A and B are shown apart, each in its own frame.
Chain A
């Protein structure tokens, strides 16, 4: 097992991890290591090829990969170490206050990294079908909007031809437009709530401009097709979200995309024993973004789901500074 020692280990090389690394470096930390499970830095931004990123941070409109690249270039310029294709499997706490991060990758095998401070920046994941408990068959053709986005934007592949989208979160709205541009027919977007969860600009630019109907207070009450999706039943719901009998209608489609919310990805945080917040699904943090375990900080979507990446960067910038301050004060004692 290869071993090393760091001052700050950052778990996740997406927008949160990158901004946190930069600010920790600027605040004077020397030994910083970013651990990223993917083959490149940038996180989910790499598949978000639409524009609209960076209006707050850079005062200009960038695509996701462009936004990521600005930070990646700064991180490289600062010569901050990164390990790519590296999965963290565990974080534990030593009695003397050091944290031990266990990770693995193909080149080095198992790694054990002792560090004074950890910044959690693992991001979030999409809520799957099961969490929505949509009845019906379980054929191919049901994807989370982000999975479809990966196939289309990263692989150049189409996951379907005729699409219904459930949930009007931003990824769902963005994917409605994307699928149309790539040659698919998007039948409609259905939203359980009486209002959309997405940004107004996305409703206008991604649905209205393409003539895609948005049905509010509507849900998918059945999925048809045994091997591949053949259609869905949509149903109006009342003010309590309960289906209104008799309001059903069928929509033929071969694909159902789900965009029904994001959940912070906190396996490692829970494994470490940090106190969790049931409302945000993220760790409980103090005003320094430090969770219930001293020297462990959290920022970005792992802490709570953010609407804009600019906000993620701003929060992570703080987390990096607080982690650096920890290393330089309390961290000295350990």
Chain B
């Protein structure tokens, strides 16, 4: 039995933010994660938006944590060195009849504490962003809207938690949470115990909650499909462009990403399958079609990849819940839910970390950690470095001159660093999310064999053991002609010839 003061279930952005904030006090903390890496669920597949905070109903946790999370982002992105940019956001209104809704949004935002909101005329909008559709009648401008690298933030929080003593157990799916004096958790066959458990299990937060509480909750995965477009159209818009919700639906957003691509999406569709992150032909064509309403010149042919993510949409007592559930379960002392973290969950994450830590600290006080390390330095980024920085990095380690991913200009030095970081990369996707190797327009065609080789070398395993994203996702299935050889071996032994020829064939590549 492994004993901790706090166990967090889920290494998504909420779980990692909570881990990081809880680590500011003297206590032992473990994070249990079912996937092979942090940031593998909803945290990896979303819009990467730092919302201004005008959407959520005033007075809700969503509204409060959104505005707080947004405020925290500048300082946190500097402290933990992840990409964040305040590019401003626009909500487009296409019909005069909807204008009151736009004004309502502005009022709500102001009540929520969003600063600088302004309703702009079509001319003002096009001054900001010339490619915006000619069909708009007005737009709500929020200067505090921003964009963030969702992986970058999640991984930065995890790394910083880890250097402050938080222990991560990856490939540890929780199968049982038992309440006795505290909680006993079974994950991947191992037993863990702690008086305090934080349920940050994303779309599975209902399953975890319902293991200990009589007040059942239900989470419906609401799928959103996206198209990510080539960097050559990344400048099509500068702001994040939303559509005012109408009878046609909630609308599709078009936004630049912090890395210079253009992201269009998401759709919204309730599904049954909590692993249902497959895209559909209808969904993807809807994304491009509806995105094209906002912005002139959106070209679906410039898509470099498409993906789907799941929002953790919450029902309580059979009714849709419009707010997060964050707090101690009424009938389970020491069990804290962080459930239903759908949009604007990514924006809220730092505020959720702060808020949950305050709740836990109040009930379970612990002394301050004197040697808490607040600052984390990211992996060097050769693509964005100046020539002087490049020179300095290469002088210290020549591997920074060996380009592995040519589309995004990621070097061997960066990949090796990503592997050896705290909670480092062990998979191709892990390397991709930490360094962007394979995230460019060739989508890993050239670099994946080389990244695979580096992963195997650095982790001291054979290449056949390296996976795309854990589990049964190995890249390679064996050696050339091995099937032919084993068939030959079978034939040979059937002929009573002890498989001599087959041995000769295998000898060359032990």
Contacts and interface: CB of A to CB of B under 8 A. Distances in A.
A140 B390 contact: no
A102 interface: yes
Interface in A118-146: 125-126, 128-131, 133, 135-140, 143-144, 146
Given A140-B467, A227-B469, A133 B306 contact: yes
Interface string A219-252: 0011100111000000000000001000000000
Contacts of B281: 135, 221, 243
B474 A228 contact: yes
Interface string B388-405: 001100110011011100
B402 A105 contact: yes
Nearest to A156: B480
A147 interface: yes
Nearest to B227: A133
Contacts, number: 154
Given A133-B300, A133-B303, A135-B280, A156 B479 contact: yes
Interface stretch (B73-81, B314-322, B360-368, B437-445): B437-445
Interface string B450-492: 0000000000000110011111111111111111110000000
A204 B401 CA distance: 44
Contact of B446 (A102, A125, A130): A125
A222 B475 CA distance: 20
Interface in A147-163: 147, 150-152, 154-161
Contacts of B446: 125, 147
Nearest to B232: A270
A128 B305 contact: yes
Contacts of A135: 278-281, 283-284, 306
A92 to B, nearest CB: 12
Given A135-B279, A140-B469, A151 B406 contact: no
A325 interface: no
Contacts of B278: 135-137, 222-223
Contact of A161 (B279, B395, B441, B483): B483
A150 B449 contact: yes
Contacts of B442: 125-126, 128, 144
Contact of B305 (A1, A129, A143): A129
A227 B449 contact: no
A104 B394 contact: yes
A157 B480 contact: yes
Query: In this complex, which of A106, A133, A226, A243 has the most chain B Cβ atoms within 10 angstroms of its Cβ?
Result: A133
A38 to B, nearest CB: 10
A143 B407 CA distance: 17
The DSSP consensus for interface residues of chain A is mixed
A226 B476 CA distance: 16
B303 A151 contact: no
A158 B479 contact: yes
Contacts of A156: 479-480, 509
Contacts of A150: 449
Nearest to A146: B445
B479 A85 contact: no
A11 B300 CA distance: 31
A129 B227 CA distance: 12
A37 interface: yes
Contacts of B403: 37, 87, 89, 104
B401 A130 contact: no
B241 interface: no
Interface string A176-210: 00000011100000000000000000000000000
Nearest to B471: A227
B235 interface: no
B472 A130 contact: no
Nearest to B281: A135
A106 B398 CA distance: 5
Contacts of B275: 226
A130 B448 contact: no
Nearest to A128: B443
25 contacts: A87-B403, A89-B409, A107-B398, A109-B391, A109-B401, A110-B390, A110-B401, A128-B442, A128-B445, A130-B443, A133-B284, A135-B279, A136-B278, A139-B473, A140-B475, A144-B442, A151-B476, A155-B449, A155-B463, A157-B476, A161-B478, A161-B483, A227-B472, A227-B473, A228-B473
Interface of B: 227-228, 232, 275, 277-281, 283-284, 300-301, 303-307, 387, 390-391, 394-395, 398-399, 401-403, 406-407, 409, 441-446, 448-449, 463-464, 467-485, 509
Given A37-B406, A133-B284, A158-B482, 17 more contacts: A106-B401, A126-B445, A128-B444, A135-B281, A140-B473, A146-B445, A147-B445, A147-B449, A151-B449, A155-B463, A157-B478, A158-B476, A158-B477, A161-B477, A183-B482, A227-B469, A228-B472
